[in-house]
Amino acid sequence: MNQLPTTTGKVIVCDGNEAAAWGACLSRPDMVAVYPITPQSSLVEYLAEFIADGRMDADLMDVEGEHTVLSVLHGAVLAGARTYSATSAQGLAFMFEPYFRTPGLRLPMVVSLVTRDAVSPTCVWGGQQDAMTVKEVGWIHMYCETQQEILDTIPIAYKVAEHPDVMLPVNVNHDGNYLSYGVARVELPPQSVVDAFLGEKQVNWHACLDPERPMAVDPLTGGAGGIGPSMFVKYRKGICAGMQDALRVIEEAHEDWGKRTGRYWSPLIEEYRMEDAEVALVTIGSMTGAAKDAVDTAREAGRKIGLVKIKTFRPFPAARIAQALSKVKAIGVVDRSVNFGWNCGPVFQEVLAAMYAQPVRIPMMSFIGGLAGADITVEHFATVVERTFRLAGGETAAGPVWLNEND
């Protein structure tokens, strides 16, 4: 699905954090608020550098913490600005209070999550525990596989966030360490292409703080009696509707981006060698590359295996996933984080729920790998492939399998 970059833009070699910074730069945000945290720090350093050099015409807000990062952006969006920021793990945790209210206010903004395992035990390396922990808040979550996909997904995310049918914040997630510091060839689309793609910003037409258009933003809603609870329900249902509409808008935005740049990324899920697959792997994020190699190796050995990569995790493309996986005999889901109350990975649980609507039960197994910045190697995936085939052969699933337990 990932075509080679067209040569319409400048080609650079950069890591994932710089790719994200370029994605933001090309999207022309008015305001950028930053606070550094590993493994995101170099991303905000790039932003600061771009602004210092005049490459990026945005107001840089160097603030005292992530709580304020998101808070100043709330104010800016309500005043009419397009905004951008990025964070990780503890920063996201400290940001949680304003994070929680962003979708409730229907503020369209884009924030990159450079995913990381969350303390304790203290750990500053990659993982997806941070992003997975906030999946129920109302932000759209998209996970990227490569540096180029990071760059391209950021303008796409603005297009989705600001769509009148969506009006929700978007997290564009890329794996800390692996993608944040890993270097690759990346093509920068010309500014004119991104400008034409994004068009006029549509940020605060629905709620604003402007003396020329006075309104109360976020009045106390709910309570017993009157229209309170029904109004609150209306708001909640509105977010749900925006999420469901986003499934369509995300596909449209990816399609439009593909036409303009020649890069057609899979918007919701990517099906890899699934045509006649008897066994399927499900992956998310940067691990997908190694998984595809493992699939190729297995295919060369004559084994019918395919892969489904999840790009859009919220809204969860349940129907598409069920459709893609409905004909296989076993499914192995690989997570980079832990769902503590379910003794499995969170993506596993989501796929399990999506598959429940199918007429037949397909055996599934949860694999957890890549914690604490560990690489998920082709060897790990060989294990995943092997266990999933054994599952298809009738072996009882006992999960989760901790892939880097002995690394």
Partner 1 sequence: MGVAFDSISFKASLCDGCGDCMTACSEAKSGASRISIVPGAKAGGYEAALCRQCGDPKCAQVCPSGALDKDGGNGVIGWDAAKCVDCLLCTAGCVYGGIAVDPNVSRVAKCDQCDGDPACVKVCPTGALEFRKAGSIFNEYGAKEDLFVPGLSGCQGCNSELIMRHAMRKIGRNSVLATPPGCIPGMGSVGYNGKTGTKVPVFHPLLTNTASMLSGIRRYYDRIGRKDIVVMALAGDGGTADCGFHAVSGAAERGEKVLYVCVDNEGYMNTGMQRSGTTPYGSWTSTTPVGEHMKGKTQDAKNLPLIMTAHKCRYVATASTGYMEDLYEKLDRAIEASFEGFSYLHIYSPCPTGWRIPSNKVIDACRMSVDSNFNPLWEYTNTTGLRFTHSPDNAYPITEYVKMIGKYRHLSPDQLAHIQAKVDEQVALLKLMAAESSPPPAAHRAPAGASTPAGAESSQPARREIARN
Q: Under the rule (CB under 8 A), what is the footprint of partner 1?
A: 30-31, 33, 59, 61-65, 67-68, 71-81, 97-98, 101, 208-211, 213-223, 226-228, 231
Least distance from partner 1 to the Cβ atom of residue 137, Å: 15
User: Buried (b) or exposed (e) across 144-154, using 16+ Cβ within 10 A?
Assistant: bbbbbbbbbbb
Taking the least distance from each CB to partner 1, the nearer of 75 and 164 is 75
Least distance from partner 1 to the Cβ atom of residue 330, Å: 47
Taking the least distance from each CB to partner 1, the nearer of 213 and 361 is 213
Least distance from partner 1 to the Cβ atom of residue 230, Å: 9
Taking the least distance from each CB to partner 1, the nearer of 100 and 402 is 100
Helix (H) / strand (E) containing 365: strand 364-368
Taking the least distance from each CB to partner 1, the nearer of 89 and 203 is 203
Least distance from partner 1 to the Cβ atom of residue 175, Å: 29
**Which strand ranges, in their side-by-side order, compose the sheet holding 110-115?**
59-62, 31-34, 83-87, 110-115, 170-175, 140-143, 312-314
Burial class (CB in 10 A: 0-12, 13-18, 19+), 50: buried
Taking the least distance from each CB to partner 1, the nearer of 31 and 321 is 31
Taking the least distance from each CB to partner 1, the nearer of 212 and 276 is 212
Burial class (CB in 10 A: 0-12, 13-18, 19+), 297: middle
Angle of helix 41-53 relative to helix 16-26, nearest 10 degrees? Answer: 40
The closest alpha carbon to 247, from 310, 307, 204, 308, belongs to: 310
Least distance from partner 1 to the Cβ atom of residue 56, Å: 13
Least distance from partner 1 to the Cβ atom of residue 105, Å: 9
Taking the least distance from each CB to partner 1, the nearer of 81 and 305 is 81
Using alpha carbons, list the distances in angstroms from residue 57 to 170, 189, 204.
22, 18, 20
Least distance from partner 1 to the Cβ atom of residue 65, Å: 6
Using alpha carbons, list the distances in angstroms from residue 293 to 222, 273, 319, 378, 382.
53, 11, 27, 7, 10
Number of C-alpha atoms within 13 angstroms, CB side, residue 17? 25
